Structure 1
Amino acid sequence: MRTLTPALRGDVITGIAVTLVGAVYYIATFWIQETKNIVTPRTFPAIVGIALIVLGLFLIGQAVYRSRKLAEVVPAGAASASSGASGVASGSGAADSGVEDEPAGVVLDAPEEPKSKQVVLQFALFFIYLGILIPVGFLLSTAAFLMTMTSIYAPHRWIRNLIFSVLFSVIIYVAFVYGLAVYLPVGILG
């Protein structure tokens, strides 16, 4: 097995850390006292712990998968480079044109580094959201927050952003209020 690139090694280490945190978090839920309700105080922390475990394992699996894909590409590239060298020796057309064969394969582009102003703006928007959550209410403040955040990344798709923001807010509100019997701030709508 080939060694992992530094980026993939970082993903594996992060995945292991997230999995361990999720496991510890889930195990800690067993010390929470049970109640007779359907949804106990242990329910939400257990869901979070299980989600962290699943996401950590997914991150590890994705890094291993990408490592294997890169390992498949490198031998194919080495083989085409050696065949290109034999083609040069035999006087092929590639040698005459001065163009070398590039190895075929998958090119993984690194994501762009976040712009510091954009990160500061997102944190500021999050703290504004926290400040208006109770007085304005969950539905309106969450829809406005999500609309603003999605518009940062795709400003030209404002209709999609609006539909997503409203639907997500309503679905979460209904799930918490009617499914889990957890009341969220109503704010000015109440």
Structure 2
Amino acid sequence: MTAQRTDLITGGVIAVIGAVYYIATFSIQETANIVTPRTFPAIVGIALIVLGLFLAGQAVYRARKTALAEAGPGVGDAPGVGIGDGAAASAGEAADPHEPRGGVTLEVPPEPATRKVVFQFALFFVYLAILIPVGFLLSTAAFLMGLTSIYAPEKWIRNLIFSVVFAVIVYGAFVYGLAVYLPVGILG
């Protein structure tokens, strides 16, 4: 099974889970407040749908791009023009399919290692487990510190500052802006 097909299936499954989750939010009782108990679960459901569709769309795009590249030079181009520099094609030389047009080279970011993805999921479930007993501020800062350290461990000071500032801003926005109280945990 190719990576594109796996991403397509995964994206579809995530979108379906998001749709089911979103539909389930309609069984939550409404209140008179601006932010109801249904608001956050609905946002999560919609985000799952959007992200699942984005992943599936990305897989379709990559599969189409791969199919065009495998079809060879000239597919999708103007007649008689291959992939590569126009000077090489006009000089009678074979155009190099790996040479970019216009001389611009873009590096493809590496795919995340399976170990990193598994670690992220494990970190997320630990975050969910400690959120209420430890409190939102500390658990969110620790979660974000761990998450950002997966990709840039050498920039731990930046990661720490980002984690603490982001957690404080979100906490302030919910508690003081929306009057939605988050778990205080051991700080309360």
Q: Normalising by structure 1, what TM-score?
A: 0.68
* Stretches (4+) displaced over 6 A: 105-110
Listed one character per residue, the Cα deviations across residues 73-128 of structure 1 (whole Å, up to 9, x for unaligned) are: 22235987xxxxxxxxxxx9x9xxxxx98642799686354349x95698379638
Q: Please list the CA deviations of residues 117-167 of structure 1 after superposition, one character each: whole Å capped at 9, or x if unmatched.
A: x95698379638844x45653223322332234224322112221222112
Q: Contact (CA 8 Å) 2:123, 2:143: kept in 1 or not?
A: no
CA contact (8 A) 2:123 2:147 kept: no
1:89 matched residue in structure 2: none
Letter in structure 2 aligned against 1:177: V
Q: How many residues are matched?
A: 169
**8 Å Cα contact 2:4-2:59 kept in structure 1:** yes
Q: How does 1:1-190 map to 2 (within 5 A)?
A: 6-76=2-72, 103-104=97-98, 111=111, 113-115=113-115, 119=118, 123=122, 127=126, 130-131=129-130, 133-134=131-132, 136-187=134-185, 189-190=187-188
Asked if the contact 1:22/1:49 (under 8 Å) is kept, the reply is: yes
Residue in 1 aligned with 2:86? none
TM-score (norm 2): 0.68
Cα-Cα RMSD: 3.6
Higher Rg of the two aligned structures: 1
Which ranges of structure 1 fall in alignment gaps of 5 or more residues? 81-91, 95-99
Q: Percent identity at matched positions?
A: 62
Report if aligned partners of 1:143, 1:165 keep a CA contact under 8 Å in 2: yes
CA distance in 2 between partners of 1:66 and 1:156 (Å): 32
Q: Which runs of 5+ in 2 are unaligned?
A: 76-81, 83-91, 101-105
CA spacing shift, 1:161–1:11, aligned 2, 3 Å:
same
